Amino acid sequence: MGDDTTARIEYLSRALKAPRIRDTAERLAEQARDGGWSHEDYLAAVLDREVAARDASGAQLRIRAAGFPARKTLDDFNFDHQPALNRDQIAHLGGGVFLSQARNIVLLGPPGTGKTHLAIALGIKAAHAGHRVLFGTAVEWVARLQEAHSRGRLAAEILRLRRYGLIIVDEVGYIPFEQDAANLFFQLVSSRYEHASLVLTSNLPFARWGDVFGDQVVASAMIDRIVHHADVITLKGASYRLKDTGITTLPSARPENTTE
């Protein structure tokens, strides 16, 4: 390429807010000449790289914006530690069809069995697939809704959250809610029903959610909407955190207190 053309491409790619195109165009030009590509093949290859790079940086932005407490992936998940788990089901969920169908996922099980890990991993997959994701614990979600409510902005906040393809609510049940909190949470669940997905995790079986929300009626109405279109996955066994410690039980892992 002549110096003029190089300078022009540099200027034009900056004007397009795609400065990477300059390097790609230069790099691929050589390959194209050597390989005898058509002009169309060359143009398509340059644009292809740009789109791939944009998708990747979009995914990184969405992952950062999601507020995950850690980065976990399905690849890091050791299925041997969860022999009862259906790998095909998890792989299918990782494909993200549940998001376009506004289906939910509920991960139940005692502490340390990988509920948060799987929730984050599915969230990261969703971000890669182009969905906006927000992660929070149940306590954080309630605080957020209470704050919006106190500013008279609850309806607007709930509407805004509908723009997120996936909302993850971690640790339902660790801390019981006040009744007004249960109502706020119910509104969040209702607003997403058949519109957008939720992933929830809990150490308690549904039968105990009434105690958490301080209201059996609200809890059952909520569970009804959550599970109507949902995969409910129960994780089992000892905590992965204690795997190499020799400790086999935790006080909170007694069968009467958990989903075990």
Q: Which residues bind ligand ADP (CB under 6 A)?
A: 72, 76-78, 81-82, 109, 111-117, 201, 240-241
CA 219 – CA 213 distance, rounded (Å): 6
Residues counted in the chain: 260
What HEC string does 212-241 produce? HHCCHHHHHHHHHHHHHCEEEEECCCCCHH
> Least distance from C-beta 259 to Mg ion, angstroms?
13
Confirm if 24 and 54 have CB atoms less than 8 A apart.
no
Q: How far is the CB of 102 from ligand ADP (least distance, A)?
A: 24
Answer yes or no whether residue 203 interacts with Mg ion by CB under 5 A.
no
- Closest contact distance (angstroms) between CB of 107 and ligand ADP is 7
Whether 173 contacts 209, CB under 8 Å: yes
Long-range contacts, stretch 54-62, CB < 8 angstroms, 24+ apart: 55/130, 58/130, 59/127, 59/128, 59/130, 62/127, 62/130, 62/131, 62/132, 62/133
Pick one of Mg ion, ligand ADP, none as the site partner of residue 165 (Cβ within 5 to 8 A by kind). Answer: none
Task: Choose between 13 and 258: whose C-beta lies nearer to ligand ADP.
Answer: 258
User: Closest distance between ligand ADP and the C-beta of residue 72, in Å?
Assistant: 5
- Tell me how many residues contact Mg ion (CB under 5 A): 1
Q: Which of 169, 239, 246 is nearest to 202 (CA)?
A: 169
- Give least dist CB 70 to ligand ADP, A: 7
Shortest spacing between CB 82 and ligand ADP, in angstroms:
5
CA dihedral 212, 215, 216, 217 (to 10 degrees): -140
Which residue number places its CB atom closest to ligand ADP? 114
Interacting positions 110-149 with Mg ion (CB under 5 A): 116
Contact partner at residue 30 from ligand ADP, Mg ion, none, CB < 5 to 8 Å by partner kind: none
9 vs 68, beta carbon nearer Mg ion: 68
* Binding partner of 62, given ligand ADP, Mg ion, none, CB within 5-8 angstroms per partner class: none
Considering the complex, state which of residue 186 and residue 209 has its C-beta at the smaller distance from ligand ADP: 209
Query: Residue 258 has which token pair?
Result: 């958990």
197 binds, among Mg ion, ligand ADP, none (CB under 5 to 8 A by kind): none
DSSP tally for the chain: helices H, then strands E: 11, 5
Binding site for Mg ion (CB under 5 A): 116
